Amino acid sequence: MTFKSKIKTIEWTQNVSRMIDQRILPKEFKTVDIKTSEEMYYAIKDMIVRGAPAIGIAGAHGIVLAAMEIKTKDKQEFLKELKRKAEYIKSSRPTAVNLMWAADKQIELAESIQGDTNEITEALKQNAIKMENEDIEINKKIGDFGSEAVPKGASILTHCNAGALATVGYGTALGVIRSAFAKDPTIKVFADETRPRQQGARLTTWELTRDGIPTTLITDGMCSYFMSKGMIDMVVVGADRIAANGDTANKIGTYTVAIAAKYHKIPFYIAAPLSTIDISIKSGNDIPIEERSHDEVTHINGDWICAEDVNIINPGFDVTPNELISGIITEKGILRPCYKTSIQNAFNLK
Ligand code: MRU
């Protein structure tokens, strides 16, 4: 089955990083050309591009832009400046480890090149394009493995957007849904709206309805109700960082969905590439959680929605403990508890 939406969220083209502006979807579809490493820092921070694998690729592009900006031909000076700029780009958002992973891969490559600074820059460009293509391939593998876990005619709940828009294309959690739908067009999706930035309402429903996948939008507080009515058979969500024990950081509200799924005995899956697993972190307690602007909570569409002097707190992510997770769907297969062992094995298979 082919899908209508061959969405390419981000791509290196004509010496710029071209990305879909996700701040304005679904009202407007527009791409933005990012031309400097500083513009890339803000594109990630302000969420023109978002979603863990997509910001990984944005980081890889950012390093290419950084290399193109550095004027010195002295290799040691060049590498020193490149590493400084890499740290700056990596500081744009703290939770999704794919950003650090991709930027570090680019730096490792730059250090390994025997040629001059032009050759390093060219190698970084080629590697960024390779990473883009690999991202789509990995998502298709995740989709294939994950589709095996989807019951016939299932209603699948997802939270936030772990789709083509959160990756280069196809998606992780929505990749599972796309692959399952290709085999069984009777499946249906429930999409949580995902306050405060509405990635579920704005992005997930846009993507899935373009592909003709039946999708029902619900508000975040409704998931337990639909579970209690027997209307949800499975949950699949993405991840921003998975610790070595399987604890998983994902968009705020994911933990609530996982608790509700456990109570109602509904399988709860994470879909993510191995690059989202941070084996240097023992448990979810060590995952840095981004605190975002309070305006995201106090305003809807530019209008105040609360008392002006109320206290606000706005963590962008929460951590779902591993015991609530039925499986982690990766490009190497579905990892099952005990995650400490299955994650270790998956990395040895690499
Ligand atoms: O703040 P965002 O929109 O970047 O958060 C995105 C998510 O939490 C996604 O679910 C996660 O990155 C997985 S993307 C395949």
> Tell me: the pLDDT tens digits for 118-170?
999 999 999 999 999 999 999 999 999 999 999 999 999 999 999 999 999 99
* Atom in ligand 1 nearest the alpha carbon of residue 171: 15
* Atom in ligand 1 nearest the alpha carbon of residue 290: 1
Within 8 A by CB and 6+ apart from 230, the residues are none
Q: Where does the chain hold its CATH 1.20.120.420 domain(s)?
A: 10-139
The residue whose CA is least distant from atom 15 of ligand 1 is: 162
pLDDT of residue 279: 96
The whole-chain average pLDDT of the chain stands at: 97
C-alpha separations of 341 from 38, 192, 279, 286, 346 in Å? 40, 32, 12, 19, 9
Residue in 66, 72, 64 with CA at minimum distance from that of residue 126 = 64
d(CA 345, ligand 1 centre) in Å: 26
* Most ligand 1 atoms within 8 A of CB, residue of 170, 199, 330 to mutate: 199
Ramachandran angles phi, psi of 77, nearest 5°: -60, -45
240 in catalytic set = yes
Q: Are 170 and 133 in contact (CB under 8 A)?
A: no
pLDDT of residue 101: 97
Q: What is the dihedral of CA 247, 251, 253, 257, to 10 degrees?
A: -60
Q: What are the beta bridge partners of residue 158?
A: 191
Quickly state the pLDDT bin for 252 (edges 50, 70, 90): very high
The residue whose CA is least distant from atom 13 of ligand 1 is: 238
CATH code that applies to domain 140-346: 3.40.50.10470
* Choice among 135, 211, 233, 240 that is catalytic: 240
Burial 226-244 (b: 16+ CB within 10 A, else e): bbeeeebbbbbbbbbbbbb
Query: Ligand 1: which residues within 6 Å by Cβ?
Result: 50-53, 96, 160, 162, 166-167, 172, 199, 238-240, 250-251, 316
Q: Are 193 and 219 in contact (CB under 8 A)?
A: yes
CATH code that applies to domain 10-139: 1.20.120.420
Residue 220: exposure state from Cβ atoms within 10 A (0-12, 13-18, ≥19) = middle
> Tell me: the pLDDT tens digits for 171-211?
999 999 999 999 999 999 999 999 999 999 999 999 999 99
* Atom in ligand 1 nearest the alpha carbon of residue 22: 3
d(CA 253, ligand 1 centre) in Å: 12
265: alpha, beta or left? (left if phi > 0; alpha if psi -120 to 50):
left
Q: Are 349 and 283 in contact (CB under 8 A)?
A: no
Q: Where does the chain hold its CATH 3.40.50.10470 domain(s)?
A: 140-346
* Atom in ligand 1 nearest the alpha carbon of residue 163: 15
> Tell me: the pLDDT tens digits for 265-323?
999 999 999 999 999 999 999 999 999 999 999 999 899 999 999 999 999 999 999 99
Q: What angle do CA 93, 97, 98 make, to 5 degrees?
A: 100
Q: What is the DSSP letter of 284?
A: G
What is the pTM (predicted TM-score) of this model? 0.96
pLDDT of 350 strictly over 70: no
pLDDT of 5 strictly over 90: no
